[in-house]
Structure 1
């Protein structure tokens, strides 16, 4: 009988407490455009979540009903931006405002064909700027060892500080 190994996942909770902490990086190519989804369409949020997240084991919302997706995506406290390249979605981020004014970078990621092109730092800079311009008292994000291997380093390079770390099986 062989024993099944339990994989330990590390989760890092990061915070930025002032806009002056942002270490901005521009997008490397002027052919990219970041646009907010002003019309809230839960089907598009679901598509983006699945499109970007399938490579990083984003599974927490896969079993959601249409009503759960609609309640989440069309909430007044959620805003969504998409990174486009020649009209095609290259990545997205969602900002969620909490009752205490904290804004969480709820989801952030690039579509697989756009990974490795030096877009992460510039796109993340844009997300952080949008959070502060929305009136954040602070900006939070978390990442884990299942995400892109460069995710934690990108967050830290933009000025986020680790607030706490957890390990779970």
Structure 2
């Protein structure tokens, strides 16, 4: 039996098939560095390059993203992820507090004259202590240290509730929205079923 594709209703509700998740994605950009006061690293924190360490990267990505259902890199095969992180135009950093990694900053310069803030996040318990603002300061400094004409990022409605506001306050301007539909990574075994409890698992009837 062939499943008929679901048409998106642009003026109302669209039912999702069991096992699917959906999120509203907001795309943001800036074309010159904003006039923000620089922020120093909170005491005891330092940035360490981790492009070469796939295990460390995955561990940190999962610690940060599991609560918000970050799945893009969770479902990505090791070879594909290693190819991205191994590209000299990609920079991935861990924010370390001396006992472990507590934040992630990833910048992608593969598009000519552009930079993407691929990921910026903190582990639970660190948000609200100035570490995020420091990571953004570093992101802006490193991005505009190169001859880029555009710095861009996207966030979604599954992310931390303050994420979009944080980007807007950092100088980004929203320019596009999209709806992303994907297989629930928890049902595929890439994330535990208890991840992101604010997004119920809907597997359908048994």
Pick from 31, 39, 43: which aligns with 1:17? Answer: 31
Q: What TM-score, normalized to structure 2? A: 0.70
Pick from 22, 38, 43: which aligns with 1:30? Answer: 43
Correspondence list, 1:148-163, <5 A: 148-163=160-175
Q: How far off is 1:28 after superposition?
A: 6.8
Length, aligned pairs only? 164
Correspondence list, 1:114-133, <5 A: 114-133=126-145
Specify which structure has the higher proportion of strand.
1
Q: What TM-score, normalized to structure 1? A: 0.84
Q: 1:12–1:164: 8 Å Cα contact kept in structure 2?
A: yes
Q: Can you list the C-alpha shifts for 1:125-151, whole angstroms capped at 9, x where unaligned? A: 211211112432211100011111111
CA RMSD of aligned residues (A): 2.3
Where does the alignment leave 5 or more consecutive residues of structure 1 unmatched? none
Specify which structure has the higher proportion of helix.
1
Where does the alignment leave 5 or more consecutive residues of structure 2 unmatched? 1-13, 182-206
Q: Which of structure 1's runs of 4+ aligned residues deviate more than 3 A? A: 4-8
Q: 2:42–2:130: 8 Å Cα contact kept in structure 1?
A: no
Q: How far off is 1:22 after superposition?
A: 4.7
